[in-house]
Copies of this chain bind each other. A is one copy, B any other.
Amino acid sequence: MTDGSRKAIVLLSGGLDSATILVIAKSRSFCCYALTFDYGQRHRWELEAAKKVADSIGVQEHRIVNIDLAQFGASALTDTSIEVPKNRADLGISGNIPITYVPARNTIFLSCALAWAEVTEAFDIFIGVNTTDYGGYPDCRAEYIAAFERMANLATAAAVQGKEVFKIHTPIINMTKSEIIRTGFEMGVDYSLTHSCYDPDELGRSCGSCDSCRLRLKGFAEAGLKDPIEYRKAVK
């Protein structure tokens, strides 16, 4: 049962960015449908994190969809024979496309969000892309999102019938990691429930040295806050 407010699909990975956009979407009075992908990622702990985050913030429905992106191969995030890079000087943000890039991932995720949006009659989709995370990921840029939105408005039954217009919301696209963390913290996000590490151990503890862990730790440090999650070894 919805409360009559406008519906939104929110892509929820279980990481801190998507937890933050979920709370932002709620603060804008959207009735939120959280969508998480089990895509064969090696950091499957994020699926558990996504459940906890959805429960904690509160959503109308949380759907975990299976799409095995490893069927296409060629990323360290889905292919365990490729090592996750550690302790890179540039944190992967120097403009080269890192091996952790999953081909067309955001395009596939947004396409699925669009399908679910059509079915639920939502016309708003939230995605937690941001330029700090960009690190050479082409599908995190504003011009890409704008092109997807334009395509979505030609792709769908609702759009053709002229009922409504799809809008892709990217509320954190221009924030730094520390701004994201501070924003979410002020809005009550419990970051202890989130997971960011690309290469956790069997207990789900983060490595502290992959690009994702280091961006996260840098963000907390710059925000003047302590990261509440557990790392395999003490981190500064």
Contacts and interface: CB of A to CB of B under 8 A. Distances in A.
A151 B104 CA distance: 11
B154 A72 contact: no
A71 interface: yes
B104 A155 contact: yes
A161 B137 CA distance: 11
Interface string A8-32: 0000000000000000000000000
Interface in A55-103: 63, 65-69, 71-74, 97, 101-103
Contacts of A147: 147, 150-151, 154-155
A102 B114 CA distance: 11
A157 interface: yes
Q: How many copies does the complex hold?
A: 2
A112 B114 CA distance: 14
Interface stretch (A115-123, A172-180, A226-234): A115-123
Nearest to A64: B71
Interface stretch (A41-49, A138-146, A184-192, A205-213): A138-146
Given A97-B157, A138-B159, A66 B68 contact: yes
Given A104-B112, A108-B111, A144-B155, A138 B119 contact: no
Contacts of A156: 103-104, 138-139
A231 B143 CA distance: 49
Contacts of A63: 71
A116 B154 contact: no
13 contacts: A66-B68, A72-B118, A72-B119, A103-B118, A104-B112, A106-B155, A107-B111, A138-B155, A138-B157, A139-B155, A143-B154, A147-B150, A151-B151
Interface of A: 63, 65-69, 71-74, 97, 101-108, 111-112, 114-116, 118-119, 136, 138-139, 141, 143-144, 147-148, 150-152, 154-157, 159-161
